[in-house]
Amino acid sequence: MEGRKPTVEELLAKAKEPASKAPAWHAFYRGKVGTALKCAITGYGDFAIWYTPGVAQPCREIQKDPDKVFEYTNKGNMVAVVSDGTRVLGLGDIGPEAALPVMEGKSILFKYLGGVDAFPVTIDTKDPDELIQAVKWIAPAFGGINLEDIASPKCFYVLDKLRKELEIPVWHDDQQGTASITLAGVINALKVVGKEPRRVTYAVIGAGAANIAFVRVLIAYGVPPGNIVMVDSKGILHKGREDLEAKRDENPYKWKYACETNAEGRTGGIPEALEEADVCVAASKPGPGTIKPEWVARMAKDAIVFACANPIPEIWPWEAEEAGAKIIGTGRSDFPNQINNSLGFPGIFRGTLDVFARTITDEMAIAAAEAIAKTAEDRGLREDYIVPTMAEWEVFINEAVAVALKAIEQGIARRILSEDELVRQAERMIKYAREEVEILMREGHIPPPPG
């Protein structure tokens, strides 16, 4: 394909390649994460220090001063990736066992990209209060909780309650993580086309966890709510939606935005929401065909389309381009402009854990978005480059520092470090994680994947 534009058939074949390889690779390694030692073993006598009887002394000191748990254990770098398997990627309610490969995948991204020790914890319940209780029971062992792939609107209730009841950061990546990277993409895409984020109009397709959080963060960033038109499976959100009002107690978030957004009072569905919109952010039903090219053609000049459904975007990038979109992003790594949480959560948690923060605020998420956007801008923005790639590892350091400084500024950090100290800490942890994998591969302890 070098030197010429690939055909649609070639693009489709490329898009299907990861799924075709995945089963064999997963079976070959029998999973993706395990545990590894981080302390020296100079001889069998060391076990008297690492375990009994010596271990009793740090236990006593933690009992006297609970914050010493961050000094004497790995709690301060350990995150639980928690899911009930009710809303997995584009797969839906597939259960905790089937969700486990995704949570393992999340864990390797935490480690390799952010130097964060993460471990999958899939829980066999669909009851939100049981899920909350399970997380509270395991929380003492972790410095943070990453909620993942939990159905909406249950996910909002679970997040809100755990954030109130735990003294460690609880984060729902499908909410705050998606919001951070999407905001970063919007900031830079609008720079490329010469538009101002607070003056343009947004069509937000899908009103689940991802887009509800994105709209909340977008408004916190300064975008007038009236500039936003949201669409769920039944159409545009507006004050006249009696079905949303009837379920306002069950899902107050959708009713809130039905009342606060859409200043023009638009009705209809996706085509009407896209009419003359500057930006389309879709996190809805996997495509192709969820968004049709003729609808994109009705957007404003130099339109931006983020089609982020997985595993297949709502509209193929080449279709959106042919319909007139200037900048297109998807959630996939095999197309340009990947608007994917993997650029956000590793660095955000790195910064959060480095100062032992008690929570992750929307302001910290915005600080991360601005750091992501600036990292790409410093390299030179283009229509096919609005956010960094995962290979540009400085983005995770930049995010970590920005997030940690914001936590310190907001008074929610247990540990105060200077900007230089934060840079060194993030660099050390991320470099260690990458070099550890490289050494194990070089020595043959991690063999290459099957052909």
Query: What stretch of H or E contains 364?
Result: helix 362-379
Does the pLDDT of residue 149 top 80, yes or no?
Answer: yes
Does the pLDDT of residue 90 top 60, yes or no?
Answer: yes
What CATH number does residue 195 fall under?
3.40.50.720
Give the mean model confidence (pLDDT) for residues 285-289: 90
So what's the pLDDT on residue 9? 79
Q: What value does the mean pLDDT of the chain take?
A: 94
Contacts 24+ apart (CB under 8 A), 7-12: 8/318, 11/316, 11/318
Give the mean model confidence (pLDDT) for residues 112-123: 97
Q: What are residue 245's phi and psi, to 5 degrees? A: -65, -40
Same structural domain for residues 113 and 259?
A: no
Same structural domain for residues 212 and 189?
A: yes
So what's the pLDDT on residue 5? 67
Same structural domain for residues 161 and 180?
A: no
Does the pLDDT of residue 1 top 50, yes or no?
Answer: no
Query: What stretch of H or E contains 228?
Result: strand 228-232
Question: Of the residues 168, 199, 231, which one is the last residue of a structural domain?
Answer: 168
Helix (H, G, I), strand (E, B) or coil at 54: coil
- Within-domain flag for 85: yes
Same structural domain for residues 191 and 157?
A: no
Same structural domain for residues 184 and 324?
A: yes
Task: Give the model confidence (pLDDT) of 292-304 as tens digits.
Answer: 999 999 999 999 9
Least confident residue range of 14-23, 117-126, 336-345: 14-23
Same structural domain for residues 271 and 298?
A: yes
- Within-domain flag for 152: yes
Same structural domain for residues 294 and 268?
A: yes
Q: Is residue 327 packed enough to be buried (19+ CB in 10 Å), middle (13-18) or exposed (0-12)?
A: buried
So what's the pLDDT on residue 251? 87
Same structural domain for residues 148 and 217?
A: no
- Within-domain flag for 337: no
Question: Of the residues 305, 330, 355, which one is the last residue of a structural domain?
Answer: 330
Q: What is the DSSP letter of 153?
A: T
Give the mean model confidence (pLDDT) for residues 143-167: 94
In the annotation, is 257 catalytic? Answer: no
Same structural domain for residues 181 and 314?
A: yes
- Within-domain flag for 309: yes
**What is the four-CA torsion angle of 329, 87, 360, 350, rounded to 10 degrees?**
-70
Same structural domain for residues 312 and 192?
A: yes
Helix (H, G, I), strand (E, B) or coil at 404: helix
Catalytic residue among 75, 106, 154, 254: 106
- Within-domain flag for 242: yes
Does the pLDDT of residue 6 top 80, yes or no?
Answer: no
What CATH number does residue 58 fall under?
3.40.50.10380
Number of domains the chain contains: 2
Catalytic residue among 14, 51, 301, 432: 51
Task: Give the model confidence (pLDDT) of 369-424 as tens digits.
Answer: 999 999 999 999 999 999 999 899 999 999 999 999 999 999 999 999 999 999 99
Provide the β-strand partners of residue 235: 232
The whole-angstrom separation of Cα 104 and Cα 107 is 5
Does the pLDDT of residue 131 top 60, yes or no?
Answer: yes
So what's the pLDDT on residue 3? 52
Question: Of the residues 168, 190, 207, which one is the last residue of a structural domain?
Answer: 168
Domain span including residue 120: 48-168
- Within-domain flag for 368: no
In the annotation, is 44 catalytic? Answer: no
Give the mean model confidence (pLDDT) for residues 87-111: 93
pLDDT band at 4 (very low <50, low <70, confident <90, very high): low
- Within-domain flag for 217: yes
Q: Is residue 34 packed enough to be buried (19+ CB in 10 Å), middle (13-18) or exposed (0-12)?
A: exposed
- Within-domain flag for 23: no
So what's the pLDDT on residue 377? 97
Does the pLDDT of residue 12 top 60, yes or no?
Answer: yes
Count H helices, E strands: the chain?
A: 18, 10
Does the pLDDT of residue 335 top 60, yes or no?
Answer: yes
- Residue at 359: amino acid letter: T
Same structural domain for residues 181 and 290?
A: yes
So what's the pLDDT on residue 158? 95
Task: Give the model confidence (pLDDT) of 219-278 as tens digits.
Answer: 999 999 999 999 999 999 999 999 999 999 888 999 999 999 999 999 999 999 999 999
The whole-angstrom separation of Cα 298 and Cα 277 is 8
So what's the pLDDT on residue 109? 96
Same structural domain for residues 312 and 187?
A: yes
Task: Give the model confidence (pLDDT) of 65-81 as tens digits.
Answer: 999 999 999 999 999 99
Whether the CB-CB separation of 123 and 83 falls below 8 Å is answered with yes
